[in-house]
A and B are shown apart, each in its own frame.
Chain A
């Protein structure tokens, strides 16, 4: 009888354990990755690599060459590339694939996005141990190519890949924002371009450029169209302005601090210029480069990674040839509030490695990710745009230094605007910054840009932009991007939150555990009584 009871109890315990496992994980979690003792070269691996290019076929070709060079070194690893032109699309696709355990092996991404991927169980590999692994770590003894050591990755850039206590990515390329200026027109207006650009200068010249003649043509260009100042990424615009003013945005704990008085005053200033038509955005008007090259814009702020689209002699034009006007292009760091304490955004792709059930497959993925840091890949890719290599090993290589020395307006491979843009970042790496990364930081970034887009649209639509408007804008934006919920999740109010009904498996688990403990108790009591009787 007791044997039967014990068997039943044992079965119940097993079932309860299964329930507890199910209840703990909404999706199938992966085991933590452990570095294999050695890489099994007798097996074939097929890994997927989701890459991003800037609608630049040369970049696609460089990825292809990198894959082919890597496969030649590791014939047992086949890399299948899927190419994107939009970080947002990669992010959405990864999120969709996490739930089905079909993430790529290696992926170009942003740390903000990784923070969201990390909400899955062991989804992204922490790279700390891989970095220092003697055999397969950065420039490890078993690596078949000349990889950089940890110390040869620019510290500022590798630190951007740290989320919490761990590194979850390696930097791939870095860029910043640049101010592309129509120097010819500005000097014709009687202004001299300052060494360090200020917001005051940009706003003043932009307003002056709105003057028209009796035919309604803008005096500065003799055309019917002029938007003196266009910003490509309004997310960056708001974030950088707040940073320059040492105002709140968010902190490392994920507290949202953007809805403050400084933000409000910046929005009032921006709206003033949106009202006169002297300021617009990419989302509202179009690419800054299109207007700049047509002589319809004086100040265009875009990524240094967009430098090949800027200037009369740009490598790429989206506008008709006969619309391009001749002018001298100046490239400067973005405008500052304090010329003695400049700040600019550090941006650009990083690479993360996703976890898989097969640790050998993960190791194969890491070998490929690390290969992307080799000099050949770093130099070739950075030279396609105003990117800079992320390793000092590549930055200081003879090939790269030779490239930087050959700037010319007439040589597409050494287009001077592109090289000026890259040098801008090389000279200002210490002045770059990134924002805190947490689950929800990507939404906060979107919201910060939306604030500028909203006031700009409202002024164009002749709506009233006043204090009441700002209050409503803050409230609506917080709600739209779930920042009000996020704040609730990261503060003391969490314990007051209604978590809703318990899920079915959890209820079943609790009931089973109660039943098991009751039976165990009964069994113990039964044994105790029988024992006493025997005595």
Chain B
């Protein structure tokens, strides 16, 4: 009897740990009325969605709106122009947990939550970059949309400023295995990081780099880059 009890205890401990969410892979329990990532993915476009996620980054606040890159342990979300005061925007630091209510939408292939409102919750999680290099050029890449991802050994093929001069987005094309891919330094995501802006602006054709960023979509993959390591 004691052996059986011990076994049950051990099993329940394992299950409890699994339920609590391991660092890698295991799903996180959601609050009542909140969708899991799988439910969010399955939700129809234009339907109302409620999600819980952790802020990974956000673009510049403006006019009581902010655009947020967020993730949970199963996937990622992009909140476009979410209603937000300037004070609250300052609190949206990486890792901050928020509950978001809005509508699922798609704009040029980018699946996002629009007309959203949010509230702060307690919890913290910062995603590590997932290497998706092997999915470049494949349909599976879309499964990682909005996630914090990395691409290894990418060769710079072109760098251009949106305006022809510094002061706005920078478009960076990389090639991998003979195929060209379009990346972007999103000016409003980069904020005041002039060092990174200058580094990207000064990339030279032929340089081989590891790249990190958020897997944004615009008529195809168009990662918003946050880190470039020239090899």
Q: A residues touching B (Cβ–Cβ < 8 Å)?
A: 53, 55, 57, 60-61, 82-85, 92, 284-287, 290, 318-320, 457, 460-462
Per CB-CB distance, the 9 closest pairs between chain A and chain B, nearest first, are A286-B108, A60-B164, A460-B46, A57-B164, A83-B163, A319-B219, A461-B46, A318-B219, A286-B107
**Does B135 make an interface contact (CB < 8 A)?**
no
Q: How far does the Cβ of A76 sit from chain B's closest Cβ, in whole Å? A: 25
Q: Are A318 and B167 in contact (CB under 8 A)?
A: no
**B167 partner residues in chain A, CB cutoff 8 A:** 82-83
Q: How far does the Cβ of B60 sit from chain A's closest Cβ, in whole Å? A: 11
Q: Are A60 and B163 in contact (CB under 8 A)?
A: yes
Name which residue of chain B comes closest to A317, CB basis. Answer: B219
A83-B163, A320-B219 known, 10 other contacts, Cβ within 8 Å: A55-B163, A83-B164, A84-B163, A85-B162, A92-B62, A284-B107, A286-B107, A290-B219, A457-B103, A461-B46
**A55 partner residues in chain B, CB cutoff 8 A:** 162-163
Query: Residue-by-residue, is B101-130 near A (CB-CB < 8 Å gives 1, otherwise 0)?
Result: 001010110000001000000000000000
Q: What bracket does the count of chain B residues touching chain A fall in?
A: 20 to 34
Query: Residue-by-residue, is B40-61 near A (CB-CB < 8 Å gives 1, otherwise 0)?
Result: 0000011110000000000000
* A85 contact from B62, B163, B219, Cβ within 8 A: B163
**B62 partner residues in chain A, CB cutoff 8 A:** 92
Q: Are B48 and A320 in contact (CB under 8 A)?
A: no
Name which residue of chain B comes closest to A81, CB basis. Answer: B165
Q: Are A461 and B48 in contact (CB under 8 A)?
A: yes
* B163 contact from A53, A290, A460, Cβ within 8 A: A53
Task: For the complex, give the distance between the alpha carbons of A204 and B215 in Å.
Answer: 40
**B46 partner residues in chain A, CB cutoff 8 A:** 457, 460-462
Q: Are B218 and A461 in contact (CB under 8 A)?
A: no
Name which residue of chain B comes closest to A61, CB basis. Answer: B164
25 A-B pairs in the complex with CB atoms less than 8 angstroms apart:
A53-B163, A57-B160, A60-B163, A61-B164, A83-B163, A83-B164, A83-B167, A83-B168, A84-B163, A85-B163, A92-B62, A285-B107, A286-B107, A286-B108, A286-B219, A287-B108, A290-B219, A318-B108, A320-B219, A457-B46, A457-B115, A461-B46, A461-B48, A461-B103, A462-B46
Q: How far does the Cβ of B21 sit from chain A's closest Cβ, in whole Å? A: 32
Task: For the complex, give the distance between the alpha carbons of A196 and B45 in Å.
Answer: 36
**Does B191 make an interface contact (CB < 8 A)?**
no
Q: Are A284 and B165 in contact (CB under 8 A)?
A: no
Task: For the complex, give the distance between the alpha carbons of A61 and B164 in Å.
Answer: 8
Name which residue of chain B comes closest to A82, CB basis. Answer: B167
**Does B220 make an interface contact (CB < 8 A)?**
yes
Q: How far does the Cβ of A469 sit from chain B's closest Cβ, in whole Å? A: 16
**A462 partner residues in chain B, CB cutoff 8 A:** 46
**A92 partner residues in chain B, CB cutoff 8 A:** 62
Task: For the complex, give the distance between the alpha carbons of A285 and B46 in Å.
Answer: 11
The residues in B between 128 and 155 inclusive whose CB is less than 8 angstroms from any CB of A are: none
**B103 partner residues in chain A, CB cutoff 8 A:** 457, 461
Task: For the complex, give the distance between the alpha carbons of A265 and B143 in Å.
Answer: 42
Query: Residue-by-residue, is B151-180 near A (CB-CB < 8 Å gives 1, otherwise 0)?
Result: 000000000101111011000000000000
Q: Are A284 and B105 in contact (CB under 8 A)?
A: yes
**B160 partner residues in chain A, CB cutoff 8 A:** 57
Most A CB contacts (10 A, CB to CB) among B62, B105, B219 go to: B219
**A287 partner residues in chain B, CB cutoff 8 A:** 108
Q: How far does the Cβ of A488 sit from chain B's closest Cβ, in whole Å? A: 23
Q: How far does the Cβ of B214 sit from chain A's closest Cβ, in whole Å? A: 19
Q: How far does the Cβ of B111 sit from chain A's closest Cβ, in whole Å? A: 13
Task: For the complex, give the distance between the alpha carbons of A287 and B109 in Å.
Answer: 12
* B108 contact from A83, A290, A457, Cβ within 8 A: A290
Task: For the complex, give the distance between the alpha carbons of A318 and B110 in Å.
Answer: 14
Query: Residue-by-residue, is B192-228 near A (CB-CB < 8 Å gives 1, otherwise 0)?
Result: 0000000000000000000000000011100000000
The residues in B between 73 and 116 inclusive whose CB is less than 8 angstroms from any CB of A are: 103, 105, 107-108, 115
**B108 partner residues in chain A, CB cutoff 8 A:** 286-287, 290, 318
**B45 partner residues in chain A, CB cutoff 8 A:** 460
Task: For the complex, give the distance between the alpha carbons of A61 and B165 in Å.
Answer: 10
Q: How far does the Cβ of A56 sit from chain B's closest Cβ, in whole Å? A: 9
Q: How far does the Cβ of A343 sit from chain B's closest Cβ, in whole Å? A: 31
Name which residue of chain A comes closest to B47, CB basis. Answer: A461
**A83 partner residues in chain B, CB cutoff 8 A:** 163-165, 167-168
Name which residue of chain B comes closest to A454, CB basis. Answer: B115
Task: For the complex, give the distance between the alpha carbons of A172 and B220 in Å.
Answer: 36
**B164 partner residues in chain A, CB cutoff 8 A:** 57, 60-61, 83
**B168 partner residues in chain A, CB cutoff 8 A:** 83, 85
**A84 partner residues in chain B, CB cutoff 8 A:** 163
Name which residue of chain B comes closest to A282, CB basis. Answer: B107
**B115 partner residues in chain A, CB cutoff 8 A:** 457
Name which residue of chain B comes closest to A318, CB basis. Answer: B219
**A457 partner residues in chain B, CB cutoff 8 A:** 46, 103, 115
**A60 partner residues in chain B, CB cutoff 8 A:** 163-165
**B163 partner residues in chain A, CB cutoff 8 A:** 53, 55, 57, 60, 83-85
Name which residue of chain B comes closest to A294, CB basis. Answer: B219
Task: For the complex, give the distance between the alpha carbons of A204 and B162 in Å.
Answer: 39
Q: Are A318 and B165 in contact (CB under 8 A)?
A: no
Name which residue of chain A comes closest to B48, CB basis. Answer: A461
Name which residue of chain A comes closest to B222, CB basis. Answer: A318
Name which residue of chain A comes closest to B160, CB basis. Answer: A57
Name which residue of chain A comes closest to B110, CB basis. Answer: A286
Most A CB contacts (10 A, CB to CB) among B47, B160, B162, B164 go to: B164
Name which residue of chain B comes closest to A59, CB basis. Answer: B164
Task: For the complex, give the distance between the alpha carbons of A320 and B167 in Å.
Answer: 27
Task: For the complex, give the distance between the alpha carbons of A407 and B43 in Å.
Answer: 48
Q: How far does the Cβ of B78 sit from chain A's closest Cβ, in whole Å? A: 15
Task: For the complex, give the distance between the alpha carbons of A457 and B116 in Å.
Answer: 14
